[in-house]
Every structure is written in structure tokens, then in C-alpha cells.
């Protein structure tokens, strides 16, 4: 049985030309220096309160490896004490009890394990996992934070989409930093392609 309000969100930040990282995986360009005078300010405490509403995270192994490097570099762990599922076929280090390595069918993980237990399930990348989540019809919502920069080449937001995915624009916010946050609901329905490969 699934949680009555369970919701799967894909969220990442990307350059205006649609890349989440450079080809070599680097994300140095995420720090931008734009200013949009008419934009909203993120109030202190808002991010903290918002993050509390997320019940669990799902990520690909390459995103996890980036997170491990960030933490090793002294930049902390972005996922708090929330359960964090890492998709991988490898034996990667588990640096905290909240991290679980998962190898298996993604639809099974989402529908049989996560939806019954959690309300707000967040896919936080990268492009391979986000692409699979959409291709399999598992996502309810896409949050796309566009940063004011073009990087020309890199890892795309969604890998290997093999068909159109219709969306409904539900929210737009522009921030003082020049970042624009788009929230789309995935139209059509999840059930349709869950068994597609």
C-alpha cells in the first residue's frame, strides 16, 4: 500500500543550456555572481524549514561520489539525517547509517519500498537517474533551478529520454541571485510506463 500523499520530485540546478555538471563532473560554475534587483530573497530559516519537509533522498552513484568528495573537502553533507538511497551496482563506502546502497529495479524501489513509507521523496540527480525516473513514469514533479550561466557542454539534466514528457508549469520564482526556479507537474500518469525499460 502506498502513502496516500506520496510524491516523487526530481530536483537539480542546471545551467541555462541544460547541464548539471561539466563533462568531467565538476560543478564549480554553480557559484554565480549575478544580481536581479526584482528577484525574491531567500529568507533566513526558509531553506532549513523546507528541507525538513523532505522525507528521503534518492541519488545515483556518481552524485553520491560527488557528495562524498564535498564532505571530504569540508563542505558538509547536504542531506542531513534523512534516509538516502544510493543507486549502484558497486560496493561503495557507506559513510553514515542513513545511507543505503540499492541495486535493483527502480520502479520496485519507488513503488514498493519508498511510496508506502514516505510522503516527499526527492531524486537529487544526476542525469542518468533522473532520466530513468522519468522514462519509467515514476516522477510526479520536476523542479528545475536555472542558474544565470551557459557552460557549453556537460552532463545533461536528463539522460536518454526516449519520448516526450508533457509537463504542467505549476510555479515560477525568480531570485535576487539571478536563479529562476521552475516547478512542473508531470502530466499523464505514472502507471503507464512503469514496466518499460
Q: List the x/- string, 22-61, binding to ligand NAP by CB under 6 A.
A: ---x-x-------------------------------xxx
- Report how far residue 165's alpha carbon sits from residue 188's, in angstroms, rounded to the nearest whole number: 8
Site residue total, ligand NAP (CB under 6 A)? 28
Contact between 106 and ligand NAP per CB under 6 A: yes
DSSP 8-state symbol, 18: S
Nearest to 133 by CA among 111, 117, 150, 112: 111
Chain mean position to CA 37: 28
Residues 6+ apart with CB under 8 A from 27: 20, 21, 66
Query: CB of 159: closest distance to ligand NAP in angstroms?
Result: 6
Shortest Å, Cβ 104 to ligand NAP: 6
3-state secondary structure of 71: helix
Nearer to ligand NAP, 38 or 148 (CB): 148
The phi and psi torsions of 112 (rounded to 5 degrees) equal -95, -30
Among 90, 152, 164, 169, which residue interacts with ligand NAP (rule: CB under 6 A)?
90
Distance CA 150, CA 50 (A): 28
| Binding span for ligand NAP by CB under 6 A among 35-43, 72-80, 84-92, 173-181 | 84-92
Residues that bind ligand NAP (CB under 6 A): 12-14, 20-21, 25, 27, 59-63, 66, 87-90, 103, 106, 124-129, 132, 155, 159
Amino acid at each position: 500500500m502506498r502513502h496516500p500523499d506520496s510524491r516523487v520530485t526530481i530536483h537539480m540546478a542546471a545551467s541555462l543550456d541544460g547541464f548539471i555538471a561539466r563533462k568531467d563532473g565538476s560543478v564549480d560554475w554553480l557559484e554565480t555572481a549575478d544580481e536581479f534587483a526584482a528577484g525574491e530573497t531567500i529568507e533566513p530559516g526558509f531553506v532549513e524549514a523546507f528541507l525538513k519537509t523532505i522525507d528521503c533522498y534518492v541519488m545515483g552513484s556518481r552524485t553520491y561520489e560527488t557528495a562524498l568528495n564535498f564532505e571530504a573537502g569540508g563542505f558538509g553533507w547536504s542531506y542531513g539525517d534523512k534516509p538516502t538511497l544510493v543507486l549502484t551496482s558497486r560496493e561503495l563506502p557507506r559513510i553514515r547509517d542513513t545511507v543505503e546502497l540499492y541495486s535493483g529495479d527502480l520502479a520496485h524501489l519507488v513503488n514498493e519500498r519508498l511510496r508506502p513509507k514516505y510522503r516527499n521523496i526527492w531524486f537529487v540527480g544526476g542525469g542518468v537517474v533522473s532520466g530513468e525516473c522519468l522514462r519509467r513514469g515514476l516522477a510526479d514533479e520536476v523542479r528545475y533551478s536555472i542558474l544565470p550561466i551557459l557552460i557549453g557542454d556537460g552532463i545533461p539534466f536528463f539522460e536518454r529520454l526516449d519520448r516526450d514528457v508533457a509537463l504542467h508549469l505549476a510555479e515560477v520564482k525568480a531570485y535576487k541571485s539571478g536563479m529562476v526556479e521552475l516547478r512542473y507537474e508531470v502530466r499523464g500518469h505514472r502507471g503507464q510506463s512503469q514496466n518499460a525499460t
